[in-house]
Amino acid sequence: MSHQVLSTLAESQSLYLDPAIRDWVLIPIMIVMVLVGVFRDQITVLLSGGTKKATLKAIRESKVLMRGAALRSYGNHIPPLSFLNRKNYLTNAYKKGDYLKNPASMNQTVNPMTDPQGMEMMMEGMKKNIAMIIPQTIIMGWINFFFSGFVLIKLPFPLTLRFKSMLQRGVETPDMDVTWVSSLSWYFLNLFGLRSIFTLLLGEDNAADGMREMTAMSQMTASPTGQPQDFHKLHLAESENLELTPHSWELNDIEHRLLTRYGKREQQKIIDSTENVIESNEKNAIEAASASSYSEHKGKSRRKSGKH
């Protein structure tokens, strides 16, 4: 059906909907879905409320990976020698499994059922899925049960005939325009459209919208719910990445960059800035000066580490 035909059909609107449908179906469905979203957000907070305590070794095991990644991305800011030292240390530690929770289990795959932490993670994932699936099913059942079999609203845009059976489920009128849709379509429209409304209502990282978790779940099928990873493999991979990371020091041409920035120097020129020994009495003075600045810093950091 072409666009023109559709629009003429739409213009010659021959259906009048009872305002009671609007008051008792259209708006209630939307309100219920918003409320359920807010409720879901609260429930997720409640379910994940029990703070899971990771042991120090587990934290160490996963954080060392981030440390390697940090070295890879920001390594250019530290001098070459310091970078090399860290690189060698980390690659060795990765290879030997120094940072593993349990260095003996280097070559075994972990069974999630025996590892209590794995169990916990699986429970966590299940809880989230349940919080997502149950309200969704209930609302859909509620809409199907009470509000099927009549037209609820007219979409302001045309759709192809293919959508007819889906959007007009329960109406079964062969000649009716596809833009007239039943309550189930309104439900789906809400499901997708309310997502950014939840962002407005509940902030960025809310758990109200089910679709995000749905996508998360489809990814999870690849690696079953919260399956604990084999950290030794991850460590080995990171060590390989680290070994392949070149180092080009940010400060190689710093003098030049600085001078260019302040308009003192035009074109690129390789600068050799070898300096020589400073006389010892000067040095002592400098030491004293910098020692005072350290004590300042020290006071600050001590105060900070006192809070928690």
Partner 1 sequence: MSPFYYKTAIETLQELRKSGERNPELVVTLGEKLIYEGYTGKLGDEVWSVYEQVFIAALDYRNDALAKTCLERLEKRFPKSPRVKILNGMKLEAEDKLDEALELYDEILKNDDSNIATIKRRIAVFKAKGQDQRAIEALTQYLDAFYNDAETWLELSSLYLNYHLYQQAGFCLEELILLQPQNHLYHLKYAEILYTNDNINNINLALKEFCRVLELFSDLNSLASERLSKVYSLDSKNKVGNSNNELRQIIRDWLNESDKSY
Partner 2 sequence: MTTQNQASLYVSEKIVQNVKTITFIRSSMSAITGSAAGILGLTGYYGFIFYGITSLFTSFLIWAAKAQAKPSLYFRNGLDVWTEGIFGGLFSYVLFWTLLYGIVHVYD
Residues near partner 1 (CB under 8 A) are: 53-60, 63-64, 66-67, 70-71, 74-75, 77-79, 82, 86, 250-251, 254-255, 257-259, 261-262, 264-265, 271-279, 282-283, 286-287, 290-291, 293-294, 297-298, 300-308
CA distance 41 to 163: 32
Among 75, 77, 100, smallest CA distance to 88 is for: 75
Q: Which is nearer to partner 2, 53 or 77 (CB)?
A: 77
71 binds, among partner 1, partner 2, none (CB under 5 to 8 A by kind): partner 1
Alpha-carbon distance of 81 to 273, in angstroms, equals 18
Q: Which of 1, 5, 22, 96 binds partner 2 (CB under 8 A)?
A: 22
3 binds partner 2 per the rule CB under 8 A: yes
Taking residues 70 to 109 in sequence order and writing x for each that binds partner 2 by CB under 8 A, - otherwise, the string is: ---xx-xx--------------------------------
Cβ atoms < 10 Å from Cβ of 202: 17
- Which CB sits closer to partner 1, 154 or 283? 283
Q: Which is nearer to partner 2, 161 or 291 (CB)?
A: 161
What is the chain's Cα-based Rg?
32
Locate the DSSP E strands across the chain.
151-154, 180-182
Could you tell me the smallest distance in angstroms from the CB atom of residue 47 to partner 1? 19
Structure-token pair, residue 92: 């060795």
The residues in 191-250 that bind partner 2, with binding defined as CB under 8 A, are 192-197, 199-200, 204, 248, 250
Element (H, E) at 88: helix 80-96
| Cβ burial, residue 155 (10 Å; 0-12/13-18/19+) | middle
CA atoms within 13 Å, Cβ hemisphere of 117:
13
Whole-angstrom Cα distance, residue 84 to residue 40? Answer: 49
Using CB under 8 A, list all residues that contact partner 2.
3, 6-7, 10, 13, 16-17, 19, 21-22, 26, 30, 73-74, 76-77, 153-158, 186, 189-190, 192-197, 199-200, 204, 248, 250, 257
